[in-house]
Amino acid sequence: MKFISFGDIHEHAENVQKIDGISDADFVVITGDLTNFGGITKARDIIDFISRYNPTIYAQIGNMDLEEVNNYFDEIGINLHGKGIIVEDMGFFGVGGSNSTPFNTPSEYSEEQIEEFIYKGYESIKNLPIKILVSHTPPHNTALDVVGGGIHVGSTAVRKFIEKYQPQLCLTGHIHEAVGEDKIGNTIIANSGMLSNGGYAEIVKKGKNLEITLKKV
């Protein structure tokens, strides 16, 4: 089984058509930020465009998406935010939006709310052998939450959850300049960067193992 993950689209989804093997992938996971302060109309345009290349999509809002986008994802049955989705023996659970930023973006949450969303999704997939956390905001104090000046701006709630429960994989984004991989214990954390810059991740499941490769179009 193979799936493709990307995020931080910010209304520029053109690179989807350049992703190698996207039409052959089993599904696509979107980590958040489809729009720039956009609502349902913008998000629907993005989802419709991606659907031309792969119709099976799971998605969640980022901090730049209006709350109504979350409701839209609920309506069309693809939402990961605060939910769990089961694909064979894999459990995906997500937390969209972000912790507080200096920019007053539409979908920001307290650390307590982030923790609540994570556990709400986790509850429905916790007994599956493979668990994948999709968190728009990265865990605190990793290589993937560093902004200018070396400041770590990730979520402490996401980090605490990973430290305690050790999902196999955490797919993240949000911090555009912090592309790469890191680990917390046995959990691999991956930020593929902005789709508009060509970044995406290819994840291949082989038995109980996940092989993740960060790529660019």
pLDDT bucket at 2, cuts 50 / 70 / 90:
very high
What tens digit of pLDDT does each residue of 16-58 get?
Answer: 999 999 999 999 999 999 999 999 999 999 999 999 999 999 9
The pLDDT of residue 162 is 98
With a threshold of 0.85, does the pTM exceed it?
Answer: yes
What tens digit of pLDDT does each residue of 31-40 get?
Answer: 999 999 999 9
pLDDT bucket at 146, cuts 50 / 70 / 90:
very high
CATH number, domain 2-216, options 1.10.10.10, 3.20.20.70, 3.60.21.10, 3.40.309.10: 3.60.21.10
Per cent of the chain over pLDDT 90 is 99
How far is Cα 50 from Cα 36, in angstroms, rounded to an integer?
17
What tens digit of pLDDT does each residue of 66-86 get?
Answer: 999 999 999 999 999 999 999
The pLDDT of residue 143 is 98
